[in-house]
Amino acid sequence: MRSIAAPQKEGPRANRDIRGVREVQLIDETGQNRGVMPLFDALRAAEEAGLDLVEIAPNSVPPVCKILDHGRFKFLEQKKAAEARKKQKTVEVKEIKLRPGIDDHDYEVKMKAVKRFFEEGDKVKITLRFRGREMAHQDLGYKLLVKVKDEMSEVAKVESEPLLEGRQMVMVLAPRG
């Protein structure tokens, strides 16, 4: 017969969930440090204030507990985490496809797009696709990728050098700074 463990709650422990410690460092609802006291006394002080005892720093010795409104505390923590997620930008990898015999104007249009991607903070994967007998002239493709690398050297750094993968040559550039 297996015993079923109680599910772990998310976030800091509060009130009667604080176990395994005899003494805690207490900070009251006004932010004043009330010093080290027995857990029982800290719980009583929180109860008298009509608030919760929340474990703020469980790893310190003794653990630091604060008297506050647990529901409001959890709400503010969630709000803070959501704000942090919103500010975080995910870096995307955009792909630009070229051919070895690309026209000058087409090349310029593609390079404008590459610069725009770098301004947005994205990485760019430049794919040079070879068809048929173009495989015999891989050096032309390599020269084209080196030209792209040289033109973009001020706004981007090479993350992976030109590399042949099957019928295509690939190079990844990342924005500088």
pLDDT recorded at residue 104? 92
pLDDT band of residue 123 (cuts 50, 70, 90) is very high
* Contact of 9 with 17, CB cutoff 8 Å: yes
pLDDT band of residue 4 (cuts 50, 70, 90) is low
Do 15-86 and 93-175 agree at the fold level? Answer: no
pLDDT over threshold 70, residue 1: no
pLDDT recorded at residue 120? 87
Question: Thinking of the domain 93-175, which architecture would CATH place it in?
Answer: 2-Layer Sandwich (3.30)
pLDDT recorded at residue 17? 83
Q: pLDDT by residue (tens digit) across 100-113? A: 889 999 999 999 99
CA atoms within 13 Å, Cβ hemisphere of 83: 6
- CATH of segment(s) 15-86: 3.10.20.80
Do strands 123-129 and 168-175 pair parallel, antiparallel, or not at all (unpaired)? antiparallel
161: its two tokens? 């050098």
DSSP assignments along 51-115, one per residue: SEEEEEETTSSSPEEEEE-HHHHHHHHHHHHHHHHHHPPPPPEEEEEE-TT--HHHHHHHHHHHH
Q: How do the domains of the chain map onto residue ranges?
A: 15-86, 93-175
pLDDT over threshold 90, residue 13: no
